[in-house]
Amino acid sequence: MQALVFANGKLEYTLSHPQPKPADDEVLIAVELAGICTTDLEIIKGYMDFTGVPGHEFVGAVEKGPRDLTGKRVVAEINCVCGKCDMCHSGLSNHCRNRQVIGISGRDGAFAEYIVVPRRNVQVVPEAVSNETAIFVEPLAAAQQIVQQVSIEQRHKVVVVGDGRLGLLVVQVLAGIGAKGNVVLLGKNENKLTFAEKRGIQGVLLEDMLIKPEWDIVVDCTGTADGFQTACRLVRPRGKLILKSTFVPDKPVDLSPLVINEVTLIGSRCGPFPNAINALAAQQVVTNGLITASYKLQDGIQAFEKAKNPDQIKVVLEIKS
Amino acid sequence: MQALVFANGKLEYTLSHPQPKPADDEVLIAVELAGICTTDLEIIKGYMDFTGVPGHEFVGAVEKGPRDLTGKRVVAEINCVCGKCDMCHSGLSNHCRNRQVIGISGRDGAFAEYIVVPRRNVQVVPEAVSNETAIFVEPLAAAQQIVQQVSIEQRHKVVVVGDGRLGLLVVQVLAGIGAKGNVVLLGKNENKLTFAEKRGIQGVLLEDMLIKPEWDIVVDCTGTADGFQTACRLVRPRGKLILKSTFVPDKPVDLSPLVINEVTLIGSRCGPFPNAINALAAQQVVTNGLITASYKLQDGIQAFEKAKNPDQIKVVLEIKS
């Protein structure tokens, strides 16, 4: 089958990747649409030492699996867990000690014609949610995870640092919970800030921002050392900093503001899919306009190049139409 | 008067620093003994852009001040606050927006014959606490601050990373709260680990440690990029990492374990003095053996050099005997 494969430090398009076969507790999905995320860009730089087919934001149709799922349009949670380790037993199965993560660790992902995932990971996509919206289920669930970990109240002054793919979802989630006037998106791109402003959320250009430790809650969605440094400097004493991006800074970050201001930093990763699907179906979170480029799978290398461009929001791969 | 003064990027001993004069709400203290701390070593590298007399761990006798204090042996909390800003009003006066910090920010410190501090900062030292013990009030209060911020239970597996001055206090505080068998000190120096082991606390050499994310609570007291990196890798999923040292890493630190494992990192700074004085008076925390070198004030430059040596624990300046 067609696939993008990362091996020996190189991403390549191939026509001859073996089609995966589902085990008894797995389903075979024909991928229809997949999104490229910052983690994918890190993976092709060597993150997680991953080799194989990347891609974990996708929607497709079940070709083989239990009768109730066959033919259904589905998405899939990315953590494939053992159900047996201390983490699984303590209700933290996303942190399973033996987990594989679709397209990220130990398991082929979605930048291919077919993908196999555990049955338990699959969630059916309702009619109201198009493919172009469904690929945002995974990053939106990650954005919503913040609210599972941190109590955010209307009185809190909240700033989301980074106006990229993730920041534009996070700020919608937080503005939906806090008072909209207290939630600000901080970024470098006027066109992306405009996206937020159309939804009634204040966007501020970095150059116009007063960098002082006065914000109750700061979410870093930049995935850069500079962005994280800015975030550290914005949190008020005893405030909270949520770190969303898995990245290796390219330079040292001065962490002393975290100690001096006794900041609580909370690492935040994946979230549950059902809430995300509901929020998209109810249009509480809007994704129209977030897809800025679309490529066929055979042009996947170009798609990755495009996704590195800071002008882009979400670049997608059309795999089966 | 005699003093060590840091100015123009250089620490110098002088005989002619002007003796400070107390305002109405201040007291004049003749410094007797002062300790050199990692923050002091950072200050002479440029931290906080401080200029003046450094030194914030000290004990001395009140020479001028209210009658009930005159002649008393005292220590002093280091944050000099305004009492008027949003932080002071919200009960976070240690985070006062307009604060001066003794020997660290905006105010001369204790490496001098005399120091002036606000009356409200002064705490009397009981007879049972010697000068050699009293200089540990400030760092012990900082160690105890961890327990104010994080709930630690006997079942928790706790590791303190760094067997320096601060680590040896922190591990005693935490072992006094948790089950001793569950609290481990991780370090590089056998002689320092032995200090902990004499108090029934397990010491482990870094080279013998299995670096896996299995610890409920990790405290980083290393003040180095490598130490902080190790600490990040030891925290279990959803565990807690307490960051005690204000430092600028000399290389990038991979923060992805914090995100992947959804770790909560808590910056922790100063704590209240009364608890620390009580714990020292009751010998719940032992400081005998922590002072490894002692210098006269006129040999202060040498004392700083000595304090940089990783073999040393606490280097002190005898100012008035």
Which of B87, B104, B266, B268 would best serve as a mutation to test chain A binding (most A beta carbons within 10 A)?
A: B266
* CB-CB contact of A320 with A32 (8 Å): yes
Counting Cβ atoms within 10 Å, is residue B49 exposed (0-12), middle (13-18) or buried (19+)?
exposed
Per-residue pLDDT of chain B (321 residues; tens, 9 = 90+): 999 999 999 999 999 999 999 999 999 999 999 999 999 999 999 988 999 999 999 999 999 999 999 999 999 999 999 999 999 999 999 999 999 999 999 999 999 999 999 999 999 999 999 999 999 999 999 999 999 999 999 999 999 999 999 999 999 999 988 777 799 999 999 999 999 999 999 999 999 999 999 999 999 999 999 999 999 999 999 999 999 987 778 899 999 999 999 999 999 999 999 999 999 999 999 999 999 999 999 999 999 999 999 899 999 999 986
Q: Which of A130-139, A150-159, B112-121 has the lowest mean pLDDT?
A: A150-159
The CATH number given to whatever domain includes residue A292 is 3.90.180.10
Q: Could you tell me if A23 and A52 lie in one domain?
A: yes
- Identify all chain B residues contacting A250, using CB atoms and an 8 Å cutoff: 252
Q: What pLDDT shows up at residue B214?
A: 96
Q: What pLDDT shows up at residue B228?
A: 96
Q: What pLDDT shows up at residue A250?
A: 86
Contact B260 A246 (CB under 8 A): yes
In a domain, A221, yes or no: yes
Q: What pLDDT shows up at residue A117?
A: 98
In a domain, A274, yes or no: no
- Cα atoms found within 13 Å of the Cα of residue A160, Cβ hemisphere only: 31
Q: What pLDDT shows up at residue A248?
A: 76
The question of ipTM being above 0.90 is answered as yes
- Cα atoms found within 13 Å of the Cα of residue B73, Cβ hemisphere only: 19
Residue A150 has pLDDT above 90, yes or no: yes
Contact B269 A255 (CB under 8 A): no
Q: Could you tell me if B56 and B30 lie in one domain?
A: yes
3-state SS, residue A85: coil
Q: What pLDDT shows up at residue B174?
A: 95
CA distance A236 to chain B (A): 9
- Cα atoms found within 13 Å of the Cα of residue A315, Cβ hemisphere only: 24
Q: Could you tell me if B245 and B126 lie in one domain?
A: no
Q: Could you tell me if B131 and B255 lie in one domain?
A: no
Q: Could you tell me if B292 and B236 lie in one domain?
A: no
The chain B residues in contact with chain A (CB within 8 A) are: 47, 87, 92, 95, 149, 225, 228, 237-238, 243-256, 258-269
Q: What pLDDT shows up at residue A47?
A: 87
* Number of Cβ within a 10 Å radius of residue B142: 24
Q: What pLDDT shows up at residue A147?
A: 94
Candidates B216, B166, B215; CA nearest to B187 is B166
DSSP state letter for A246: -
Q: Could you tell me if A14 and A72 lie in one domain?
A: yes
CA distance B97 to chain A (A): 9
Percentage of residues of chain A with pLDDT beyond 90: 93
Number of domains comprising chain B: 2
In a domain, B97, yes or no: yes
Q: Which residue of A has its CA nearest to B244?
A: A259
Q: What pLDDT shows up at residue B178?
A: 73
Residue A228 has pLDDT above 80, yes or no: yes
Instruction: State how far the Cα of A42 lies from the Cα of B255, in Å rounded to an integer.
Output: 14
Q: Which residue of A has its CA nearest to B262?
A: A267
Q: Which residue of B has its CA nearest to A260?
A: B269
What are the strands, taking DSSP E only, across chain A? 3-7, 10-14, 26-36, 57-64, 73-76, 79-80, 100-101, 114-118, 122-124, 158-161, 183-187, 202-205, 215-220, 235-243, 264-267, 291-296, 314-318
Candidates B161, B146, B267, B163; CA nearest to B211 is B161
Kind and range of the H or E run holding B293: strand B291-296
CA distance B92 to chain A (A): 8
- Identify all chain A residues contacting B263, using CB atoms and an 8 Å cutoff: 266-267
In a domain, B147, yes or no: yes
* CB-CB contact of B33 with B319 (8 Å): yes
Q: What pLDDT shows up at residue A195?
A: 93
Which of A82, A88, A232, A262 would best serve as a mutation to test chain B binding (most B beta carbons within 10 A)?
A: A262
* Number of Cβ within a 10 Å radius of residue B117: 29
- Identify all chain A residues contacting B249, using CB atoms and an 8 Å cutoff: 252-255
First-residue to last-residue Cα distance in chain A: 16
In a domain, A277, yes or no: no
Q: Which residue of B has its CA nearest to A263?
A: B267
In a domain, A97, yes or no: yes
CA distance A15 to chain B (A): 33
* CB-CB contact of B95 with A262 (8 Å): yes
Counting Cβ atoms within 10 Å, is residue A293 exposed (0-12), middle (13-18) or buried (19+)?
middle
3-state SS, residue A195: helix
Contact A237 B95 (CB under 8 A): yes
Contact B246 A252 (CB under 8 A): no
Q: What's chain A's average pLDDT? A: 96
In a domain, B280, yes or no: no
Residue A51 has pLDDT above 80, yes or no: yes
The pLDDT of A207-229, averaged and rounded, is 96
Q: Could you tell me if B121 and B246 lie in one domain?
A: no
Q: Could you tell me if A301 and A257 lie in one domain?
A: no
In a domain, B279, yes or no: no
The CATH number given to whatever domain includes residue B245 is 3.40.50.720
3-state SS, residue A16: coil
Q: What pLDDT shows up at residue B248?
A: 76
CA distance B117 to chain A (A): 21
The residues, ordered by sequence, that sit 6+ positions from A249 with a Cβ below 8 Å of its Cβ are A224, A225, A228, B252, B253, B254, B255
Q: Could you tell me if B179 and B98 lie in one domain?
A: no
Beta strands A79-80; A100-101: pairing state: antiparallel
Q: Could you tell me if B185 and B117 lie in one domain?
A: no
Which of B86, B222, B262 would best serve as a mutation to test chain A binding (most A beta carbons within 10 A)?
A: B262
Q: What pLDDT shows up at residue A247?
A: 75
Residue A164's pLDDT band (boundaries 50, 70, 90)?
very high
Q: Could you tell me if B251 and B154 lie in one domain?
A: yes
- Identify all chain B residues contacting A231, using CB atoms and an 8 Å cutoff: none
Instruction: State how far the Cα of A169 lies from the Cα of A174, in Å rounded to an integer.
Output: 9
Kind and range of the H or E run holding B137: helix B137-149
Instruction: State how far the Cα of A105 lies from the Cα of A321, in Å rounded to an integer.
Output: 28
Of A228, A260, A264, the CB nearest to B269: A260
Residue A109's pLDDT band (boundaries 50, 70, 90)?
very high
Q: Work out whether the CA dihedral A160, A163, A167, A172 comes out positive or negative.
A: positive
Q: What pLDDT shows up at residue A35?
A: 98
CA distance B317 to chain A (A): 26
**Host domain of residue A250:** 140-267
- Identify all chain B residues contacting A170, using CB atoms and an 8 Å cutoff: none
Of B250, B252, B262, the CB nearest to A250: B252
Amino acid at B80: C
Candidates A259, A145, A94; CA nearest to B241 is A259
Contact B262 A95 (CB under 8 A): yes
Q: Rg for chain A (alpha carbons), in Å?
A: 19
Q: Could you tell me if A160 and A186 lie in one domain?
A: yes
- Identify all chain B residues contacting A237, using CB atoms and an 8 Å cutoff: 87, 92, 95
pTM recorded for the entire structure:
0.94
